[in-house]
Amino acid sequence: MFLDSENKRAIRERYNLPFLSLVSSRLGRKLAYLGLPGAPLNDLVDWGPMLSVKTCVQIVRKPRLQREEDLQIISEMASTALVQDIKQLEIIRGAIEEVILAGKGIDGASPKLSVNSGTGISFQYDIYNLDFLGGIAYKKTSQTATGQKSPRIKAIEELFARQRGHDFNLFLTLNVRDTFGDEPVQFLQEAAQRTQNDLIQTVAAWGSGLGEGFKQHQLRLWVPQWIRELAEMQNFRCRCLPSVAYTGHENAKMIHFTFEFQFVAGRDLRVQSSQTAEDVLNLPMLLVEEGRFLRCVVSGDPCSILEPPQGPLTPQQLMSCITGDTHAELSSPVAIQAS
Amino acid sequence: MPKDTTPKGQLKQNASILVGDEIPQGKFVTIPAKDDDIGGQLLPILSKGLYTNPLDCIREYVQNSVDAGAKKVTIKITGNSVLVHDTGQGMDEAQLLSSRKFGISGKDLAEHVGFRGIGIYSGYDLANRLIITTKKADSQDELIMKFDFGGMKKELEASPVGTITLSAILSDFTSFSRKPSAAAGKSFTTVQLEEISEVHLRKIGNRAELRQYILQNLPVDFSDNFDFKQRITDDLAQNVPGYKAVTIELQSDDEEDEIITRPPLNGLRAPNIGPIYSDGKIIAYYWACLNKENERLGENNLALTKKGTYKPSDYQGFIYKCKGFTIGNRDQLYTLFTAGSGTLYRWYTGEIYVIDDQVIPNTARADFETNAAKSRLEIAVKSKLEELEKAAEKIRNTALSDKKVTEALAALGALHNEISKKGIDTFEDWDKLRDVRDQIKKHRAKTSAVIKEKADQSLKIVEKLEKEIRTGVSRNVSTSHSAKRSAKSLPATLPFPTKPVDPAPERTLTDVLKELDLFDSPSSSRVMEAIDAVLVDVLGSDSTAYQRIIAAVETTLQGED
């Protein structure tokens, strides 16, 4: 069951909300949301003024007790929406992966902003908030044996196909726990082999050698690269914002990513983002502790080309992370000490 | 008389014995009933029997909201669930637990609508789960009570009839929980019916049908655009104990949110509002508005609403209300209007708020329970409606008379035009004038003040015209001559409509002679034209003298023929 934390709240209010505000003001309208807000609907309460349609997805598991629990969450979501006066809200029952892949929930209900035309299903949401408390992927042995991808990975890949023609943004929050094994390391190593770029090769070597305790850093290296590739393959230009590590409910180690995707119409071949792989690797990693935003640096991180600032980030520095002007703001003279 | 010391809520008891004791001879004793005397089957029997329309269930939950002092109620249909949410005072733990009681209600009849303690189970037949989430303003927590109706149904189906008690069913399939609330300082109650069967969901989910049901059955507030909203609301709030009106918002997945209000009826006369007495005691309060158009309420009265949203027939006549909730329908009181098969009933729109708490609505809210209080109410309402019918009848008669007199005035106008144009045809005009006069006189007494004044002025003119005609006859002058005089003698401003009359072209002496074909040669014609020109120059073609010459020539020569 989803439970809020001070750190998560800080991310929602001080990192996500200004970002959504920027996007909303750029588009001149409110944003359509699809996500996994959980029973308290914290996203929707905090971001309410920026949002129009709100499609909330809630899994309903089959075992009786889990089913009861999930149905209770759905009831609470519906009730909370009324108590908090949240309008234009719909609840789709089903796993997010199934909803993205099949275009509908277990009751056959499709998300409000989905279109099922003869050529397939498409979505027209502006912001996805995917809080995967269980990690990026759990690979079942049966799936590995049959060569199938894990549904979550498949769903994220499919999301870009569903959104083709419509710019969108993605908040992706992952628990560091997963059953991916060596795959991220292989991914990084292959990326390094493919390129002559020194930084990528160094990063790949460094990332491959990180132990279990540094999973957040490993994720921070490979997830943005993977997402960027998926986006470009579907003609989206991608901008990645600095990732945010935090400790969630019950000491869960979490990492939060923010991506902005801009569709390039009229192109058959893959497009290239203006933010390069190197730029992405060089993005600072933030850390939220007790609700404060800090720079997160690990000794030996080849990407940490800037000295970290001392103490919490100022609102201006945080804003520069959101707008993309990180170098200018984060290389402030107060940045003196490496952790 | 000795004071009754029986505690409230308990019945007076005879001597009591226990189950198993021998019943004594010659006297009555009580034997306490036990929980297992009440079978679980009572639950489906009552919930299915009392609530035949799935929308009744919505009414029951809204009723609880109103009783909780809610000003706004939101009804949301999402997926296969229905939620009824209110911002009333919420419930504490004891109240929540008490609301589970079956057939026992702690509500005060004078203040509340619900009182039977069954309404909460009205969703039993519809849904598999009922969840009630509630919070008092001063509480940090939300309390949750869950009814597993699906489980109850399965259990009752699986158990032989009579083997499971009502209390066992309620104990086993209801559960309670508490959670911290994010709604600090707020109070609310949300009722969620989940996993509603498809057939019921289709009915509840039909927005038009739901809107219609809400408007007809729930204490929906007046539209702000209704001219008499303030006046009626103030009056009812002041005079009807427990009067409540709520704003109801409808939300559903595929439709726009909609605030339901009663339609802003327009074109109505100011309301007639007041108490209804029985034996000197106020037992009801009413308001009634008549259609200005003197006809049954129609589309014209709904001109300010979106076409098709409301039906005029739903607002024609009167309806009973109890604390704002509708009892029965508008056809029930129709027969109390007797004249002309009750035609005037539908000229009205109004409501009768029952105040007497001895008058008890039946569970289906289709009527009141039969008792002496109901009879008293019916007699008093009959008398009030007769009064209202008489008032409407008077208005109708006035309107009818106004119409008749207006028609007569129009006929008089036409007659005046005719006379101005062609002069008086003595006999024919005389008859017409008499008809008009009789018509005006016949209806004058019942007309409105404005029409009466016009009628009086017109009667004077009729008299004058009659005099003119009589004078014309006695002088035995030509009709054309008489016509001129009559037309000129009419007053400048007439109280009836007249058409502008084209002035008749002046006839000359030459015209008359030509018409009589008197010129046998062009020279005689030229001579006559020269004489005529001199006469016109000297006398003027419109002068009386010149016209008299023409008339004399005409009469003389025609006489020769």
**Nearest CA distance, A296 vs chain B (angstrom):** 32
When CB atoms are compared, the residue of B76, B182, B192 closest to A75 is B192
| Binary contact (A75, B194; C-beta < 8 A) | yes
B192/A78 Cβ within 8 A: yes
**Could you tell me if A109 lies within 8 Å of chain B, comparing CB atoms?**
yes
CB-nearest partner of B81 from A40, A78, A87: A78
Cβ-contact A66, A109 below 8 angstroms = no
Give CA angle at B125 (B368, B43), nearest 5°: 70
| CATH class entry, domain A6-306 | alpha beta
Mark yes or no for CB contact B76/A75 under 8 Å: no
> Can you give the residue ranges of every domain in chain A?
6-306
CA B28 → CA A177, A308, B34, B301, B472, distances in Å?
76, 93, 19, 64, 105
Cα separation values, B422 from B415, B419, B501, Å: 11, 5, 10
Distance from CA of A111 to the nearest CA of B (A): 10
Q: What are phi and psi of A64, to 5 degrees?
A: -55, -50
- Subunit contact A79:B190, Cβ cutoff 8 A: yes
| A79, A87, A107 ranked by CB distance to B192: nearest | A79
Give the residue from chain A lying closest to B186, CA to CA: A83
Binary contact (A109, B79; C-beta < 8 A): yes
Range B42-239: architecture per CATH: 2-Layer Sandwich (3.30)
Residue B103, pLDDT score: 61
B-chain residue closest to A113, CA distance: B254
- Test mutation, B149, B248, B251, chain A, max A CBs within 10 A: B251
pLDDT recorded at residue B132 = 93
Closest Cα in chain B to A85: B74
Characterize the bridge pairing of strands B141-148 and B174-180. antiparallel
Q: What is the residue-wise DSSP string for B17-47? A: --TTSPPPSSS--B----GGGSBTTHHHHHH
- Do the chains contact at A87 and B183, CB–CB below 8 Å? no
CB contact under 8 Å between A90 and B78, yes or no, is: yes
Q: Is A45 on the interface with B (CB under 8 A)?
A: yes
The answer to whether the beta carbons of residues B72 and B141 sit under 8 Å apart is no
Instruction: Give this complex's ipTM.
Output: 0.76
Determine the Cα–Cα distance for residues A23 and A1; give it in Å rounded to an integer: 30
A107 contact residues in B (CB cutoff 8 A): 79-80
Cβ neighbours of A80 in B, within 8 Å? 182
Query: DSSP state, A60?
Result: -
Contact between A82 and B81 using a beta-carbon 8 Å cutoff: no
Which stretches of chain A score pLDDT less than 50? Answer: 1, 305-306, 327-339
Cβ pair B183:A84 closer than 8 A: yes
Strands of the B127-135 sheet, one edge to the other? B174-180, B141-148, B127-135, B188-196, B81-86, B72-78, B247-252, B255-260
Query: Which residue in B87, B100, B180, B84 sits closest to B139, CA to CA?
Result: B180
Query: What's the one-letter identity of residue A127?
Result: I
Smallest Cβ–Cβ distance between A91 and the set B74, B78, B85 belongs to B78
| A285, A243 contact by CB (below 8 A) | yes
- Domain B263-385 maps to which CATH number in 1.20.120, 3.10.450, 3.30.70, 3.30.230? 3.30.230
CB contact under 8 A, A71 and B74: no
Chain B hits for A90, Cβ within 8 Å: 78, 253
Smallest CA-to-CA distance from A6 within A288, A253, A245, A216 is with: A288
Averages of pLDDT over runs of 10 residues in chain B (561 residues) are: 50 70 81 70 67 85 89 91 94 87 59 59 87 94 92 85 79 89 92 91 90 88 92 93 88 88 92 94 95 90 85 92 87 86 90 92 86 94 93 89 88 80 69 85 88 88 77 50 46 57 63 76 81 81 79 74 49
Q: With contacts defined as CB-CB under 8 Å, which chain B residues touch A93? A: 79
Query: In the prediction, which pLDDT does B442 show?
Result: 87
Report the C-alpha gap between B556 and B553 in whole angstroms. 5
**Chain A 55-94, residues with CB within 8 Å of chain B CB atoms:** 71, 75-76, 78-84, 87, 89-91, 93
The pLDDT of residue A30 is: 97
The helix or strand, by DSSP H or E, that contains position A57, with its residue range, turns out to be: strand A51-58
In angstroms, the separation between the Cα of residue A39 and the nearest Cα of chain B is 11
3-state secondary structure of B174: strand
Report pLDDT for A330: 41
Print burial letters for A324-336: b (CB count within 10 Å at least 16), e (below 16).
eebeebbebeebe
Phi-psi region at A203: left, alpha or beta (left = phi > 0; alpha = psi -120 to 50): alpha
Query: Could you tell me if A199 lies within 8 Å of chain B, comparing CB atoms?
Result: no
Residue-level length of chain B: 561
